[in-house]
Structure 1
Amino acid sequence: MHDDSQPAPPAPLKTPGYFVVFEGGDGSGKSTQVNAVCRWLESQGRETVRTREPGGTELAERIRELLLDPRHAPVDSVTEALLFAAARSTHVRTVISPALERGAVVVSDRFLDSSLAYQGVGRDLGEDWVSTINDRAVNGTLPDLTVVLDLPVDEARRRRETREQAAAGTTDRIEAEGEDFQHRLREVFLRRASAAPERYLVLDARASVEDLTAQIQQRIAHDLDHPDAAVSTATGGDR
């Protein structure tokens, strides 16, 4: 059983830029909202860097291919977690941190919370252990805002099945995990959000795309207009 009374996630380092991450189960609509937010930010004249995890660099994209390819199943949990951390390390140092230092808005489809959920809880490695191996990977670079698109597991499954039928695609190795695994992931995202509500925005992903986009834009606009209101305590990192 996992302790629900864990301390709040560490605050991000203060940078000239703004870092927003989208989290949630597969089928929750993250990609749709990432696209919408990036278009909106660009229309406002903001330099916007769209990225994803695992991925974002050539090396990290190669690691992504290995991680998600069902032909490589099973992959032991420790190896999986270390590969995600390796991809994250090059992603942070090559893409995310430089963009934030020059004042850009970075929009990422998944980040550290996904590892804490998928490997820490889903793979039973423990959130503390996964957090420890990722300390150097993130190098103190954490989201200013994490948008959690929350979707009941049965609805997420229906959406994935519809998507796969339409695209005649295959399920990747992690999507293929059972519903108990998916329930545990959902609980982690919600618990972490409840521990730091000032840095998370939890939305019901069953709402219309337009309504979700409007709520996300409103929150990001507020944060960008009031940068001093953001938590600015520097934690971790060696930069």
Structure 2
Amino acid sequence: MTREPGGTSGAELVRELVLSGAAKPFGAEAEAVLFSAARIDHVDRRIRPALATGSWVLCDRFTDSTRVYQGLSGVEAPILNAMERISLDGVRPDLTIVLDLDPEIGRARAASRRGDDAADRFESEAAEIDEARRRAFKRLAKSDPKRCVVIDASLPSPEVSDLVWRTVVDRLHPARYV
């Protein structure tokens, strides 16, 4: 299990830089470059070695998040495509699960999790941006149905977990990997 940005010591430093808002003044393209640099480190030092041993990798966020977040911030698709090609170097997810949730519910859950801590750079943005991201993730999932599955995250946690696991079983057929 890992996450992006993050997953390695170098990528965690980039995570702090981006989520703190310190990179925002440099613009969306610079943020996309930072995410790509973190992803290169993450793929090379964590994901590729795990895959080489036959392990499954479960990553919270990956290239689709960069495509949605930085794409909506004005970074053009050809730039994102090039950075994705370089940072992944052939590594591709077999399955992407998009947990779909009304942004207001998501904001309330995030506030509950963080308690008295300040909202991060993305959590502090306008609610309309969250709705635009939600629509973008749904469009992305619809454009790649062989890889992407959208799951209603407003359901109770046990139901969401069950749907996720059934999706993994249906899509990846774990029995053939045993």
Deviations 1:187-222 (CA, angstroms, capped at 9, x unpaired): 111011111212112111100110111111112123
Q: Indicate the residue corresponding to 1:201 in structure 2.
A: 149
Amino acid at match of 1:224: H
Please give the alpha-carbon distance, in whole angstroms, between the structure 2 residues aligned to 1:92 and 1:125: 22
Q: Indicate the residue corresponding to 1:117 in structure 2.
A: 68
Q: CA deviation at 1:73?
A: 4.5
Deviations 1:127-186 (CA, angstroms, capped at 9, x unpaired): 33212122110112111110100011222222233334xx21111112211122212211
Q: Indicate the residue corresponding to 1:58 in structure 2.
A: 9
Please give the alpha-carbon distance, in whole angstroms, between the structure 2 residues aligned to 1:69 and 1:224: 40
Q: CA deviation at 1:72?
A: 5.2
Amino acid at match of 1:91: H
Q: CA deviation at 1:85?
A: 0.3
Q: TM-score, normalised by structure 1?
A: 0.69
Please give the alpha-carbon distance, in whole angstroms, between the structure 2 residues aligned to 1:72 and 1:130: 18
Please give the alpha-carbon distance, in whole angstroms, between the structure 1 residues aligned to 2:85 and 2:22: 30
Q: Indicate the residue corresponding to 1:138 in structure 2.
A: 88
Q: CA deviation at 1:226?
A: 6.6
Q: Indicate the residue corresponding to 1:16 in structure 2.
A: none
Contact 1:89 1:137 in 2 (8 A): yes
Q: Indicate the residue corresponding to 2:161 in structure 1.
A: 213
Q: Percent identity?
A: 35
1:190 equivalent in alignment to 2:138: yes
Contact 2:107 2:123 in 1 (8 A): no
Q: CA deviation at 1:225?
A: 3.3
The structure-2 alpha-carbon separation of the partners of 1:127 and 1:226, relative to structure 1 and needing over 3 Å to count, comes to farther
Contact 2:23 2:30 in 1 (8 A): no
Amino acid at match of 1:66: L
Counterpart secondary structure, 2:33: helix
RMSD, matched Cα = 1.8
Contact 2:47 2:57 in 1 (8 A): yes
Q: Unpaired runs of 5+ in structure 2?
A: none
Q: Indicate the residue corresponding to 2:174 in structure 1.
A: 225
Counterpart secondary structure, 2:118: coil
Contact 2:24 2:31 in 1 (8 A): no
Contact 1:120 1:129 in 2 (8 A): no
- Higher relative CO (CA 8 A, sep ≥ 6), structure 1 or 2? 1
Greater share of residues in helix: 2
